[in-house]
Structure 1
């Protein structure tokens, strides 16, 4: 299927998107419907400033990411997440990041470290 935004200027430096599961709790939906690559729990990804580097370690060694810009929600969120999600996720839609390392990410517990 591919990435429909591949090599588009607005989406460069945004290879991986993160969202906090807590941002989606008002709608009681599967976090995967938010169309983000990585869903984390217990860490406010939206509070990270542009340029911040953090790492995620799923047990196979840390993978570092640099924060780019916010992953602002679009009107499609009202369709796939639920009515009101477009407005409700403003400021909580996640972040777009650039991976700085190659590595393995797995579903399940992981350590996330800022810095």
Structure 2
């Protein structure tokens, strides 16, 4: 199933900003996290990201989010999709539908191609929202994003992605 989508935002963060108590606020980023293009390595993640080549995050190296999930919160002003710190923010496909249910043995694979050739991903568990969402977006955002917080993936092939039009193809 091939679908035309838009890559709305790409996020690469060398540090974990959501540590400690949400009441204390996020840690500052040493550099801007928004990117126009990213480099992905098979089995490792996004070059420069905090989860790159981290064995413990092998099945969650890259996170995806459908921007419609944020828009459904109905905030008075449009929320910056990079605030949720999902690596790849899309418009045009319900990415949460690819998340594997608990205990799944098989995982769905999909490709994303923004013009430099397809990159294949394997979808794993949902990227569940945490209490930080209430701080960086709005009170109640954590509850509003339950079941719509995105999906954690493993990159199966290497390649590059950039902001703009793209094609998403669900393989299985």
Question: Is residue 66 of structure 1 aligned with residue 112 of structure 2?
Answer: no
Q: Is 2:130 the counterpart of 1:80? A: no
Structure 1: gaps (5+ residues): none
Q: Distance between the aligned counterparts of 2:129 and 2:170, measured in 1? A: 24
Cα deviations across residues 57-114 of structure 1 (Å, max 9, x unaligned)? 0000000000011000000000011111100000000000000000000011111110
Number of aligned positions between the proteins: 113
Distance 1:39 1:73 in 2: 15
Give the TM-score taking structure 2 as reference length: 0.62
Q: Aligned pair 1:39/2:89, yes or no?
A: yes
CA contact (8 A) 2:129 2:146 kept: yes
TM-score by length of 1: 0.91
Alignment root-mean-square deviation, CA: 1.6
Structure 1: how far apart are the matches of 2:81 and 2:98?
Answer: 20
Is 1:13 aligned to residue 63 of structure 2? no
Mapped to 2, the partners of 1:55 and 1:12 lie a distance apart of 18
Q: Does 1:48 align with 2:98?
A: yes
Whether the 8 Å contact between 2:51 and 2:61 is mirrored in structure 1 is no
List alignment gaps of at least 5 residues for structure 2: 1-13, 16-49, 101-106
